[in-house]
Amino acid sequence: MVIMTMTSSRAFLPVLERIAEETGRTPGRGRPADYIPALAACDPRSFGMAVAELDGTVYGVGDWRQPFSTQSITKVFTLALDLAREGDELWEHVGREPSGNPFNSLVQLEYEQGIPRNPFINAGALVVTDRLQTRTGDAAGELLAFLRAESGNASLGFDQGVAASESQHGDRNAALAHFMASYGNIDNEIPVLLDQYFRQCSVAASCADLALATTFLARHGIRADGTRLLTRSQAKQVNAVMLTCGTYDAAGEFAYRVGLPGKSGVGGGIIAVVPGRCALSVWSPGLDERGNSVAGVAALDRFTTLTGLSVF
Ligand code: GLU
C-alpha cells in the first residue's frame, strides 16, 4: 500500500467527502455488466473515489481501496507502453477518431480495411496489445509490472476467474482479431493474442492503485520514479484520445459534463486526468446504457464543477 506523505496537501479531500455524501443519497445507479458472472455479482451500491497528486500523495473516500475489475481502463496503459516503444508507427495500424459504434463492433473494420478507428474500442486495443506482445514477448506481464511500479502495490494481479470467463465468452473478440489478421494487421497467433488481451482486461486494482498509475499522464509523461515514459507530446496525444474516445459512445457527453480526459471500463471504473495537477479514479459498478458507471460519471461531473478544474 502507498503511504501518504506528511507533506501531503490532500487539497481535494473535502470535495471528495462531499461527493461521497451526495452519492450516498442518490438512488438508482444503473446495472452492473452481466456478460460474465464475475461482473454481474458486484453490488451496485459500492462507491469509491481517489485522487493522486503529482508527488504521489493518494487519498480517497468510500471503497477507494477495494480492488475491482479494471477491464477497458487497462487500454490506456497498454497504449502508453506501446507508444513509448514504437512511437508514431503505431498510428499506421490504429486510428484516433471516435468510432460512433459500440466498443465491440465489427462493421467499420470491413470498409476501413482492418484498421480500427481508435485504441480504445476492442479492435484497436487488440492491435495495441498485439504490437506490445511483439515488442516485449509478454504484453500482459509488461502491463502488470507497470501498474505495480506506479501504484507501489506489489500484490496487484490478474483475476484468473475473470480471465477464464472472458475467454469463454470471447467469440466476438476472437472474430475481431481474426478479421484484422485477414488484413495483415495482427502479428501474433490469435490464441496467444487473446490470452494476453483477456488477462489484460482481468487486472484487479483499486481506485488508489489506478489513480496512482494514471498520474504519469498528469505529469506529462513522467513516471513515479522520475523517469520519462512518454514525451510531453505523446502524453498530450494519449490524453486527447481519452477525451475523444475514452468513454464508449458517450465521449461527447462525458466531455460536456466532466471536461477531462477519461477512460471507463465495464467493471464500473473510470480514470480521469487533470493535466499538471492530479489523476482521479472512481468506481461504482452500476452502468448506464452506454456502459459507463452512472455514479462514477456523476462524481467526476461534481468534482470538476466543485473545483472548477477541467481542461476547458
Ligand atoms: N473485457 C471486455 C471485452 O473485451 C472489456 C470491456 C470493457 O471494459 O469495455 O469485451
User: Considering 72, 167, 202, 264, which one is annotated as catalytic?
Assistant: 72
Q: What percentage of the chain has pLDDT greater than the value 70?
A: 97
Per-residue pLDDT of 123-146, as tens digits, reads 999 999 999 999 999 999 999 999
Residue 100's pLDDT band (cuts 50, 70, 90): confident
Mean pLDDT, the chain, whole residue set: 94
Could you tell me which CATH class the domain 13-307 is placed in? alpha beta
Best residue for ligand 1 mutational test, from 72, 101, 126, 203 (most atoms within 8 Å of Cβ): 72
Whether 7 has a pLDDT exceeding 70, the answer reads no
Which pLDDT does position 232 carry in this prediction? Answer: 98
Is ligand 1 within 6 A of the CB of residue 103? yes
Q: What is the pLDDT of residue 283?
A: 98
Average pLDDT over residues 228-247: 98
Q: Report the pLDDT value the prediction gives residue 103, as an integer from 0 to 100.
A: 78
105-114, 171-180, 251-260: range with lowest mean pLDDT: 105-114
The answer, yes or no, to whether residue 80 has pLDDT greater than 90, is: yes
Confidence category of residue 33, pLDDT binned at 50, 70, 90: very high
Mean pLDDT of 21-37: 87
> Which residue in this structure is represented by grid cell 480526459?
261
Known catalytic residue at 155: no
- Please state, in angstroms and as integers, the Cα–Cα distance from residue 162 to each residue in 6, 125, 202, 304, following that order: 38, 18, 6, 33
Q: Is 263 a catalytic residue?
A: no
Query: Where do we find the cell 475523444?
Result: 244
* pLDDT at residue 8 tops 60: no
Among 59, 61, 69, 75, the active-site one is 75
Distance CA 51, CA 242 (A): 18
pLDDT at 5 over 50: no
Look at residue 1 in the predicted model and tell me its pLDDT. Answer: 33
Amino acid code (one letter) for 176: L
Which range (6-15, 76-85, 263-272) has the least confidence? 6-15
Active site residue 72: yes
The pLDDT score that the predictor gives to residue 106 is 86
The response to whether residue 266 sits with its C-beta less than 6 Å from ligand 1 reads: yes
Check residue 306 and give its pLDDT. Answer: 97
- Distance (Å, whole) CA 219 – CA 221: 6
Tell whether ligand 1 has an atom less than 6 A from the beta carbon of residue 237.
no
Q: Where are the beta strands (DSSP E) in the chain?
A: 48-53, 58-62, 68-69, 157-158, 203-205, 262-264, 269-274, 278-283
Let me know if 197 is a catalytic residue.
Answer: yes
Residue 27 reports pLDDT greater than 80: no
User: For ligand 1, is residue 278 a contact (CB within 6 Å)?
Assistant: no
- Give the integer Cα–Cα distance in Å for 94 and 119: 6
